[in-house]
Structure 1
Amino acid sequence: MSRLLTLKITLEHSYPEIWRELEVDGRIRLSCFHELIQIAMGWENCHLHLFKKNKDLYMPYGDLLIELNAIDEDYFSIFDLLPRKGCKAVYEYDFGDSWIHLIEVTASRKITGALQAPKLLAGKGACPPEDSGGIYRYCDLLPLLDQPDHEDYEQVEWCLGEDFDPTAFDRKAVRGFLSKYAKEQKLPERDEDEGS
C-alpha cells in the first residue's frame, strides 16, 4: 500500500505567482521527482538541484553531496520526505540563480497496486527562462516587457526574449510531457478524469 499525494509546487517570491499542482505516487524516488518538477515547471534540467527538509539536504550523488554532507536522493522516496498532508519541503534548482520552490502536500489518499503515473492537476504562470538571473532579477525585468524604449530593454531581450508571456501556461503540453515520461518509465496510464 502507498499514498497518492497532491503536491503544490510554488516558485517562491514569484509575482505574478508561478505554481503547479501534481498528483504523484509517494513511492517515486526523489531523483525521479526532480525530473517531474522540471517537466511540470518548464525548466530544462541543465543545472544542479537539491531537496531540503528541516536541516537535511538530498541531492544526486557526487562531490558536492559529500562536500555539503547531503544525502543521496536515489535512496529516498517522496513519501519519505512528505508523508502526510501539511508537510512541506524545499526544492532548489540552479545554485547560481537559486530558484527556490516550496513543495506542500495538500491532500493524500491510500492506493494499492503498481506505481502510479504522475498527473498534472493545475498550474499558473510561465516558468522563467533558464539563466535569467534569479527570481528578483526576473521580477524586476517583467514591467519592462512592454517598454521597448526603456534603457534596460536590451536586458529584457537577452534574459526573457521579446515574445515572453509571464502569464502563459500550457497545461496540455505539460500533460503530454508527463505522459511521455510515464511511458519511458513504464508507469501505467492514468485516465485524465481519474482523481479530479
Structure 2
Amino acid sequence: MQIALTKKLADTIGVKPPAIDETINPLFSWTANWTKVWDNRRTEDMIVLVNNATRFTVAIYQVKRKDLKNLEVMMKTAIFNTLLFMNVNLEIVKEYMRLAGEVELTQNRGRQSAAWVSKAGIECSFYVGREYNGIEKMFCDTVGVPTNYRHVNISTNRDEGFVPYRAMVNALIELTGMLAYKYRAFELLVSLNLEVYKAVRRIIVPADLEFARLHKVLQSVFGWKNYHLYDFTIFDGNKRLPVARIVPFEDDLEYDEHAILMKGHTLAEFLPEHKHMLYTYDMGDNWEHEIQLVQVIEEHDKESPYLLEASGQTPPEDVGGVGGYVNFREIMLNPDNSEYKEMKEWARFWEPELSDWEKRPRIIHL
C-alpha cells in the first residue's frame, strides 16, 4: 500500500520519502495530509487520507505529535476500521488489505491529489466541529465516513460526478469478486404514538450497531434535531419489566446508579433475547418511541442503516408533548384559526404530512 505524504505531513514527521510510484494500481494508493481542525489551537490534530482511485476518505482524530511514530500502523488500521464501520463485508476488507500489502510512504507531487485531500480535510473538520467540543480527550479513526456520501467531481461536468463510497465499494467488488455486504442485521419497527395517529418507521440496522448510532438513526428518520436528552430502556418479553436502561452521559448515572453507560454497547447484546425497547427523546416533551424487533436477518447483503417505510409526520421540537402537539396540529389544519399565523411562523417549514422524499425507502446517511 502506497501512501503519498503531502510536504506538510512529511515535514511534521521529519522524513524525506521517495517519489510516488505511478505504476502502482491507484486503488492501493492514498494521499495523506496533516490537518488543523481548531483555529484556537496550536496543535494540528487530524490525519486525512484520500484514495487516489475512488476519492474515498479516511480521517483520524485526535492525533498527537507523539503518536506519529506509529503513523503507518495508524493509517492502515483507520482504512480497515472505516470500511468496516460502513458495513463492508469483513472478508472483502481483509482481502483488500492483503493485496495492498504493507505501507510504503512516498512523496506526493500531484496537485490534483493534494487538492482532493485538502478539500476532504475541510469537510472532515466541519464534521468534527459539529460532533465534538474540541476539549474532550478522545480518539476516533472513522470520522471520515460522512465525507464519503458527498458527490465529488461535479464542478465542470455534472455527468462525471460520483459518490466516493459507491466508487470504493464497486472497486472492491471488481477487485475481489466478493459480495460487498454480508452481516447480521435487525429489522425494527419504531412507533411514536401521537394520540391522533402513530408516526411509524420500519428500518434495517446492523446487529452490532452501537446505541449512540441508533440514536442518530432515529433522529434522522423521525426528523428530530438532537436538541434534547434521551435514553433507551430494554423490556422483558411482556413489555412490562425494564431489563436495562441505557444512557449516553456519565452525568446520567448520578440520577440512576443502575443505568448502563451506552458507550461501546451494541444492539446485539440485548436483541434478539429481548424484542422490545423504548427510545425516549426530550425528557420534557417525553417522546416515547416503541421499538419492536421484527426479524433477524442472518446474512444481510445490502447497505444499512436503511429506511424501509415511513408514515406519519413527526411533531416540531418543543411543541409541548402529545397534548401540545394535538392542539398545535388542530390549529395548523385550520388556516382560519386565529392562532394559525403565529403558529405557522413558529413552526417555519413544518408540514402536517410527510413529503414523498421523506416516505421513500433509502439509505440513512449518518
- TM-score norm. by structure 1 comes to 0.77
Q: State the Cα distance separating 1:49 from its structure 2 match.
A: 0.5
Question: C-alpha offsets along residues 59-96 of structure 1, whole Å, 9 cap, x if unaligned?
Answer: 11221233222111123211223316x81110000111
Is 1:62 the equivalent of 2:250?
yes
AA of the residue aligned to 1:100: E
CA distance in 2: counterparts of 1:112 and 1:174, whole angstroms: 16
CA distance in 1: counterparts of 2:204 and 2:229, whole angstroms: 24
CA distance in 2: counterparts of 1:125 and 1:112, whole angstroms: 27
AA of the residue aligned to 1:71: I
Q: Which residue of 2 aligns with 1:165?
A: 351
Q: Which residue of 1 aligns with 2:296?
A: 108
Equivalent pairs counted in the alignment come to: 176
Q: Which residue of 1 aligns with 2:261?
A: 72
Q: State the Cα distance separating 1:155 from its structure 2 match.
A: 6.1
Residue pair 1:126, 1:166 contacting (<8 A) in 2 also:
yes
AA of the residue aligned to 1:94: D
1:165–1:63: structure 2 CA closer, same or farther, 3 Å change rule? same
CA distance in 2: counterparts of 1:174 and 1:130, whole angstroms: 24
CA distance in 1: counterparts of 2:361 and 2:251, whole angstroms: 32
CA distance in 2: counterparts of 1:147 and 1:120, whole angstroms: 31
Residue pair 2:308, 2:362 contacting (<8 A) in 1 also:
no
What does residue range 1-196 of structure 1 map to in structure 2 within 5 Å? 3-54=184-235, 55=242, 56-69=244-257, 70-83=259-272, 87-111=275-299, 117-153=304-340, 156-157=343-344, 160-161=347-348, 164-169=350-355, 170-171=357-358, 175=362, 178-179=364-365, 181=366
Among all aligned residue pairs of Structure 1 and Structure 2, give the percentage whose two residues are the same amino acid. 26
AA of the residue aligned to 1:117: S
In structure 2, the gaps of 5 or more residues are 1-181, 236-241
Q: State the Cα distance separating 1:154 from its structure 2 match.
A: 5.7
1:81–1:136: structure 2 CA closer, same or farther, 3 Å change rule? farther
AA of the residue aligned to 2:275: C
Residue pair 1:5, 1:108 contacting (<8 A) in 2 also:
yes
Please state which structure has a larger fraction of its residues in helix.
2
| The structure with more radius of gyration | 2
Considering only aligned residues, what root-mean-square deviation do their CA atoms show, in Å? 2.7
In structure 1, the gaps of 5 or more residues are 182-196
Once superposed, which parts of structure 1, at least 4 consecutive aligned residues long, lie more than 4 Å away?
A: none
Which protein has greater RCO, CA pairs closer than 8 Å, 6+ apart?
1
